[in-house]
Amino acid sequence: MVNAITHLDDDRFPNVVDTAGEGDGSPAVSLAAVSKVFGSAASAIPALDHISLTVPRGEFLCILGASGCGKSTLLNLVAGLDRPTSGTLTVATERPALMFQEAALFPWLTVQGNVGLALKLAGVDQAARQVRVRELLQLVHLDEFADRRPHELSGGMRQRVALARALAQRSSLLLMDEPFGALDAMTRDLLHDELEALWSTTDLTVVFVTHNVREAVRLGDRVILLSSRPGRIAEEYPIDIPRPRRIDSPEVAALAAEITDRLRAQVRRHASPPPPAHRSHDGGQ
Amino acid sequence: MATTFDADLAGLDALELFVEPGPSRAARIWSATWPKLGAIGLALFTWQCVVWSHWKPEFVLPGPAKVLPVLWNDAGTYLDATRVTLGRALAGFAIAVVIGTVLGAVIARSRILRSAVGAMVTSLMTMPSIAWFPAAIVLFGLTESSIRFVIVIGAAPSIANGFIAGVDNTPPVLMRAAHVLGARGWKAFRLVVLPAALPTYVAGLKQGWAFAWRSLLAGELLVQIAGLASLGRQLDVARQLPDYPALYATMIVILAIGLVADALFSGVERRIRRRYGLVDTATR
């Protein structure tokens, strides 16, 4: 079986802002028959099953699925935090930036310290760091809060700091793992606007994982629906609703309703009891 | 559109960050001080009540009115003794901090060492420090070294344990964030694990100090070095003379030093916890 991960740049050149392959039309991410199995032999749990997917540069891709569809696993593979069991994964960027559902800010550092640490680790010298931190904080509208500590901020503000910190990596690929899942609806809507504005003014490629259908339709150029256990690509929806979009617009709502029906159908399949032949495999309960 | 959005966001930020103004600084200091003053008053009153009860002759158990003036009249003696004892405590504690920290760092970094040595370090903490003294006297004689040895062996395991617990409790999500940002190996350890471990490490230091202080006083009773008037020696001398007001006065000095040290460590601990957002501001 094929088993290869290609990161075109590597960690030996942390200063290189990923220019590798830029403009030659190669995709930001491509997966060919990528599978991921957890555990081994008898107790193996297939998480992802032959996922083939290409993310062109500059695309905003949303990956949608219910619990257990392996969407976070998929993101971890692309982020290089885990390796596929089989298949080929090619990531054109040096080191993708990744945002989690929790902001995961370092509590002992101020807002600017958190963003600055990302720059420091990327090899940016101190003078340039200060200027860049300010720019990034202005970008997420938090420059007034540069000296606050994470615990002094609201959840939404913390996620904006996390976004600034992710952008500080200067990666051309931003991976987001349900980043707004824990926020209230109003804050989430505003952050959607902020993210969309930011993405549309840069050549950032975004892979955004969510279980919120409306959010996916609101943000994505394309929505990929994953089936659960194992995760397979069930459906693909190009979204051509003009931007800027609103989450409560009729177009978004209509398409979201359609996708929700498909998602529910996917989930329903798991409600039926497994056929008797399958039961003997479960370890004889 | 853009300006409405900015205003929306700024408005939401302002609403979310609104905090009720707390009590004034003077009010806070007063509310932190009066319970302590009250406790001291209560302790003195209880002491006086025991004396009034004539449970023991006043010659054996003098009241505060007899004991407290001794502190003032013999202030020079107590200052000298405190200098000797505190000097020993600080020197021993400093060595324990170095050894405990290095030991903790080495054990925390290596999985094999942790299973081999980690449990041993913990079991050292169960050993009452005074039980080390006979061996220390055999090994080092009646010298400063034997006192220092017992201080270090009493305090270092707590410090090492605090360090290891701090490293172990580093939230996994912070490690993942550091990994994504490109911090690996020593860099990740220095920039993420060490600061994350700080609050627990300081708790370990505080406990280490308490062990060091107890070990030291036990040591000063057992190992008396000629010509040096330490607090421990004063206790013993006052008992033998007998000069019981001096005995109780010395105990008060020892208690006061312990309370001050505890307050210092607690202050540092509280500051760090507040900085890290580990204190619930609503219950402050």
pLDDT at B80: 92
Per-residue tokens: A30: 């491509």
pLDDT of A190 higher than 60: yes
pLDDT in the model for residue A97: 93
The answer, for A266 touching chain B at a CB cutoff of 8 Å, is: no
Of B8, B179, B181, the CB nearest to A118: B181
Tens of pLDDT, residue by residue over B11-56, are: 888 887 777 777 788 888 888 888 888 999 999 999 999 999 999 9
Determine how β-strand A29-38 pairs with β-strand A86-91.
Answer: antiparallel
Query: In this complex, which of A121, A150, A193 lies closest to B277 when CB atoms are compared?
Result: A150
Is B176 within 8 Å of A104 when comparing Cβ atoms? yes
Whether residue A94 is predicted with pLDDT greater than 90 in this model: the reply is no
Q: How confident is the model at residue B118 (pLDDT cuts 50, 70, 90)?
A: confident
Task: Tell me the longest C-alpha to C-alpha distance in chain B.
Answer: 89
Does A284 have pLDDT greater than 50?
Answer: no
**CB-CB under 8 Å, B198 with A108:** yes
Beta-bridged to residue A238, according to DSSP, are A222
Core vs surface per residue A88-100: b (16+ CB within 10 A) or e: bbbbbbbbbbbbb
Quick one: pLDDT band at residue A38, thresholds 50, 70, 90? confident
Task: Output the six-digit token pair for A168.
Answer: 């500080």
The reported pLDDT for the residue numbered B138 is 93
pLDDT over threshold 90, residue A68: no
Model confidence over B195-205: pLDDT tens digits? 999 999 999 99
Distance CA A174, CA A60 (A): 10
The predicted model gives B140-166 an average pLDDT of 92
B226: left (phi over 0), alpha (psi -120 to 50) or beta: beta
Residue in B with minimal Cα distance to A145:
B13
The percentage of chain A sitting over the pLDDT mark of 90, rounded to a whole number, equals: 51
3-state secondary structure of A135: helix
What are the tokens at A22? 């830029």
User: From the CB of residue B146, how many other CB atoms can be counted at a distance below 10 Å?
Assistant: 23
Burial classification of residue A6, based on how many CB atoms lie within 10 Å of its CB (0-12 exposed, 13-18 middle, 19 or more buried): exposed
- B191 to chain A, any CB pair closer than 8 A? The answer is yes
pLDDT at A116: 94
Q: Give the per-residue pLDDT at A26.
A: 84
Which chain A residues are Cβ-neighbours of B17 within 8 angstroms?
152-154, 157
Q: Does B183 touch chain A (CB under 8 A)?
A: yes
Distance CA B156, CA B104 (A): 9
CB A212 within 8 Å of CB A66: no
Q: Looking at residue A245, what DSSP letter applies?
A: P
For residue B59, the model assigns a pLDDT of 86
Task: Using pLDDT thresholds of 50, 70 and 90, give the confidence band for residue B151.
Answer: very high
pLDDT of residue B6: 81
Q: Specify whether the CB–CB gap between A107 and A156 falls below 8 A.
A: no
Of A104, A121, A193, the CB nearest to B183: A121
Give residues 193 to 222 of B whose Cβ lies within 8 Å of A. 195-196, 198
Mean pLDDT of chain A: 84
pLDDT of B244 > 60? The answer is yes
Query: Strand, coil or helix: what is A60?
Result: strand
Q: What is the mean pLDDT of residues B176-202?
A: 90
SS3 assignment for B192-261: HHHHHHHHHHHHHHHHHHHHHHHHHHHHHHHCCCCCCCCHHHHHHHHHHCCCHHHHHHHHHHHHHHHHHH
Of the candidates B12, B173, B182, the beta carbon closest to that of A14 is on: B182
Mean pLDDT to the nearest integer, B68-80: 91
- The DSSP code sequence of chain B is -HHHHHHHHHHHHHHHH-------HHHHHHHHHHHHHHHHHHHHHHHHHHHHTTSS-TTTS--HHHHHHHHHHTHHHHHHHHHHHHHHHHHHHHHHHHHHHHHHHHHHH-HHHIIIIIHHHHHHHTS-GGGGHHHHHHHH-SSHHHHHHHHHHHHHHHHHHHHHHHHHTS-HHHHHHHHHTT--HHHHIIIIIHHHHHHHHHHHHHHHHHHHHHHHHHHHHH---TT---HHHHHHHHHHTT-HHHHHHHHHHHHHHHHHHHHHHHHHHHHHHHHTT-S-GGG-
Interface confidence (ipTM) of the complex: 0.79
Rounded CA gap, A60 and A208, in Å?
7
Q: How distant is the Cα of A280 from the closest Cα of chain B, in angstroms? A: 37
Q: Residue B50's pLDDT is what?
A: 93
Q: Is residue B2 scored above 50 in pLDDT?
A: yes
Element (H, E) at A162: helix A155-168
* Mean residue pLDDT across chain B: 88
Please give the DSSP secondary-structure letter assigned to residue A18: S
Query: pLDDT, tens digit, for every residue of B90-102?
Result: 999 999 999 999 9
Percentage of residues of chain A with pLDDT beyond 70: 87
Percentage of chain B surpassing pLDDT 70? 96
Omega into A244 within 30° of 0, i.e. cis? yes
In this prediction, residues B60-74 reach a mean pLDDT of 91
Q: Angle, to 10 degrees, between the axis of helix B194-222 and the axis of helix B144-168? A: 160
Q: Cα B27 to chain center, whole Å?
A: 27
Sequence-distant (6+) residues with CB within 8 A of B106 are: B113
Q: How far apart are CA A109 and CA A106, in angstroms?
A: 6
- Between A232 and A220, residue with greater pLDDT: A220
Under a CB-based contact definition with an 8 Å cutoff, are residues A28 and A57 in contact?
yes
Partner A, chain B 159-178, Cβ-Cβ below 8 Å: 173-174, 176-177
Of B216, B281, B238, B203, which Cα lies nearest the Cα of B77?
B238
Chain A partners within 8 Å of B271 (Cβ): none
User: Residue B279 has what pLDDT?
Assistant: 77
Q: How confident is the model at residue A28 (pLDDT cuts 50, 70, 90)?
A: very high
Put residue B123 in one of left, alpha, beta given phi > 0 → left and psi -120 to 50 → alpha.
Answer: alpha
Cα distance between residue A183 and residue A229, in whole Å: 27
List CB contacts of B60: < 8 A, sequence separation 6 or more: B244
State residue B9's pLDDT score: 84
* Domains recognised in chain B with CATH numbers: 68-277 (1.10.3720.10)
> A238: pLDDT confidence band, cut at 50, 70 and 90?
very high
Q: Averaged over A94-109, what is the pLDDT? A: 91
